């Protein structure tokens, strides 16, 4: 349940702020334990990751199921935390299995049983099929995976594009994604150098929004999310200022990237003329757990929906098909220079 709904239902509830420093520290300890089990570990979030245990039977003198059971017990004994484990032959079904029995669950979905298991599930099980997509599918009479299994992939692609292709493959338990350690790209960023130095906070804000949208687009294209937002500024005398802020969960939304970068920018935009501005994200993770909806700010939920709608329009009609008034002004009117 989103936090704003919980507070509406129980206005007197006491909301305790998370101890993110402790979460990060313990998360790293668990990550190191995982790396003792397998060389390929792909973090999904601060408390979730994929492991590729292929070929580790001789190393651990145990089948993967037993290795994971030992791992879960070790975490509970040493850190006093319970672990939910999902074991399967592909990433999609491993994630599904991990969600079947929480907390402290252990579920296995074998390749031989995958088709029949999926046939009994709703389309909401698919990664990337949110409420709006579910409504669209329901209007077409598609509410369960069995219906998707019975359709031709070409028909699904014709109707729903890349989402249709993904559904067609996942419905049959086909997921070719491999484990990515995240080492290939440590950050995603973009920057711009001004023709003339800029000190006007309003102009800098417009540029920051435009750069945030570029970073967001690259994250979405690579199915990544970042947990630390970075602002880079270079003054007229070539001195570089770098500021960053970590978020409680990873994001790929331009709105969250921009708002975080803006808070950093507001502390620096004190009349100093800048010749360069950059926005980036680090601590890259898979986007499967990006931007959870447990937000106190109801406006953030609506802005996220609007951004996804804008993404859909841009995919169909091009990057310039729709934009915010803030960046539209940026393109129509040259930045004010000092």
Assign 3-class secondary structure to 130-155. CHHHHHHHHHCCCCEHHHHHCCCHHH
The full length of the chain comes to: 338
| Contact criterion met (CB below 8 Å) for 295 and 251 | no
Instruction: Give me the tens of pLDDT residue by residue for the chain, a chain 338 residues long.
Output: 667 678 888 999 998 877 877 887 898 899 999 999 998 998 877 788 999 999 999 999 999 999 999 999 999 999 999 999 999 999 999 999 999 988 889 999 999 999 999 999 999 999 878 888 899 999 999 999 999 999 999 999 999 888 899 999 999 999 988 887 755 567 899 999 998 999 999 999 999 999 999 999 999 888 889 999 999 999 988 899 999 999 988 899 999 999 999 999 999 999 999 999 999 999 888 777 778 765 445 677 778 778 878 888 877 777 666 677 666 654 444 444 44
265-279 residue pLDDT tens: 999 999 999 999 999
55-71 residue pLDDT tens: 999 999 999 999 999 99
Catalytic residue positions, numbered: 48
Distances (CA, A) of 281 to 104, 144, 246, 256, 309: 33, 37, 9, 11, 23
Distances (CA, A) of 98 to 111, 163, 280, 335: 16, 23, 32, 51
CATH numbers and ranges of domains, the chain: 3-113 (3.30.70.270), 119-165 (1.10.150.20), 187-332 (3.30.1490.100)
């Amino acid at each position: 349940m989103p936090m704003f709904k919980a507070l509406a239902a129980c206005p007197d509830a006491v909301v305790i702020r998370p101890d993110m420093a402790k979460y990060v520290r313990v998360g790293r300890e668990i990550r190191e334990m995982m790396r003792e089990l397998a060389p390929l570990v792909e973090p999904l979030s601060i408390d979730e990751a994929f492991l590729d245990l292929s070929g580790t039977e001789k190393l651990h003198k145990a089948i993967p199921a037993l290795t994971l059971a030992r791992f879960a017990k070790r975490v509970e004994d040493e850190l006093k935390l319970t672990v939910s484990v999902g074991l399967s032959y592909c990433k999609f079904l491993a994630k599904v299995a991990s969600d079947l029995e929480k907390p402290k669950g252990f579920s296995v979905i074998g390749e031989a049983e995958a088709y029949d298991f999926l046939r009994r599930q709703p389309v909401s099980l698919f990664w990337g099929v949110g409420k709006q997509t579910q409504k669209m599918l329901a209007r077409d009479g598609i509410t369960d995976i069995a219906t998707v299994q019975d359709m031709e992939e070409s028909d699904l692609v014709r109707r729903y594009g890349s989402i249709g292709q993904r559904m067609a493959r996942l419905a049959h338990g086909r997921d070719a994604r491999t484990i990515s350690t995240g080492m290939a790209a440590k950050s995603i960023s973009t920057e711009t150098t001004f023709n003339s130095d800029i000190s006007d906070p309003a102009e800098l804000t417009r540029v920051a929004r435009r750069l945030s949208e570029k970073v967001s687009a690259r994250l979405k294209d690579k199915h990544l999310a970042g947990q630390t937002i970075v602002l880079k500024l270079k003054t007229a005398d070539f001195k570089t200022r770098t500021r960053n802020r970590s978020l409680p969960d990873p994001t790929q939304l331009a709105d969250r990237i921009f708002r975080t970068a803006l808070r950093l920018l507001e502390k620096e935009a004190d009349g100093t003329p800048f010749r360069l501005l950059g926005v980036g994200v680090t601590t890259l993770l898979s986007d499967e757990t990006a931007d959870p909806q447990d937000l106190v700010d109801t406006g953030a939920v609506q802005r996220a929906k609007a951004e996804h709608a804008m993404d859909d329009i841009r995919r169909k009609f091009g990057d310039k098909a729709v934009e915010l008034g803030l960046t539209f002004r940026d393109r129509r009117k040259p930045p004010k220079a000092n």
